[in-house]
Amino acid sequence: MNGPVRRIVIATHNTHKTGEFRALLGAGWEVEDLTMHPELPVPVEDGATFEENAGLKARSAAERLGEAVLVVADDSGLEVDHLAGRPGIFSARYAGPGAGDAGNRDKVLQELEGVPAAERGARFRCVLAVARGAEVLACFSGAVEGRLTGAVAGEGGFGYDPIFIPEGHEATFGELPAAVKNGLSHRAKALEKLLEWLEDAELTSPP
């Protein structure tokens, strides 16, 4: 490992997301999330876009954690062509509050019942906002194209992973090894851009 370990707080309570960031960032980063900061309020995600929601989550945590902490917020979701881009920013709560991942997947599968394979195109999109203090410094996005299955397949990943087959594969993100998902995911692509920017901005250590 080169250089000192750098600290980053991911503004999420979704430990699956945190686990992916940990795997993607590797040993040079100490990755925390909001489950380790129960004192921080959970902001209302009332933005109209992934960018707005990522920005408000990042700012909410960063302004309370202070200037020495680099905060990254992830707002992400599934866009289904046949559903005019839904669930989109409503992915986490598509089937209503408390429905959870299984309820959300079932709702999407029901809405696509009878839709042929060629018309089941979809993509995961991720926007990452990086903030320090009260300021959102930059946003980066990534997407992975694919199609939806007719039924749940696999137990890996989270959210809509068991119904999403990424382009170039014949198995869902729920079936594919985590390393395969992390090699091509929307999150990985956005994070790659963010890391390049961080290196250029020399913001990886406290001021």
Q: Which residues are catalytic?
A: 75
In terms of phi and psi (left: phi > 0; alpha: psi -120 to 50; beta: otherwise), the region of 154 is: left
Q: Which is nearer to ligand IMP, 29 or 158 (CB)?
A: 158
Task: Give the Cα separation of 131 and 58 in Å (integer).
Answer: 6
Q: Which is nearer to ligand IMP, 45 or 106 (CB)?
A: 45
88-111 exposure pattern, b = at least 16 Cβ within 10 A, e = fewer? bbebbebbeeeeebeebbebbbee
Other CB atoms within 10 Å distance of the CB of residue 29 = 17
140 binds ligand IMP (CB under 6 A): no
Bridge partners of residue 79, in order along the sequence: 87, 123
Q: Which is nearer to ligand IMP, 78 or 198 (CB)?
A: 78
- Rounded-to-10 torsion of CA 54, 36, 24, 180: -90
Strands 121-132 and 70-80: antiparallel
- Residue choice 55, 146, 157, 166 for contact with ligand IMP (CB under 6 A): 157
Task: Give the Cα separation of 154 and 171 in Å (integer).
Answer: 9
Q: Which is nearer to ligand IMP, 105 or 132 (CB)?
A: 105
51 binds ligand IMP (CB under 6 A): no
14 binds ligand IMP (CB under 6 A): yes
77 binds ligand IMP (CB under 6 A): yes
Pair 155, 178: CB distance under 8 Å: no
x-or-dash pattern for ligand IMP, window 160-189, by CB under 6 A? Answer: xx-----------------------x-x--
Q: Which is nearer to ligand IMP, 155 or 202 (CB)?
A: 155
Q: Which stretch binds ligand IMP (CB under 6 A): 28-36, 63-71, 155-163, 189-197?
A: 155-163
Q: Which stretch binds ligand IMP (CB under 6 A): 62-70, 73-81, 111-119, 190-198?
A: 73-81
- Residue choice 18, 91, 141, 172 for contact with ligand IMP (CB under 6 A): 91
Pair 171, 49: CB distance under 8 Å: no
Chain positions contacting ligand IMP, by CB under 6 A: 14, 45, 74-78, 91-92, 104, 124, 157-161, 185, 187
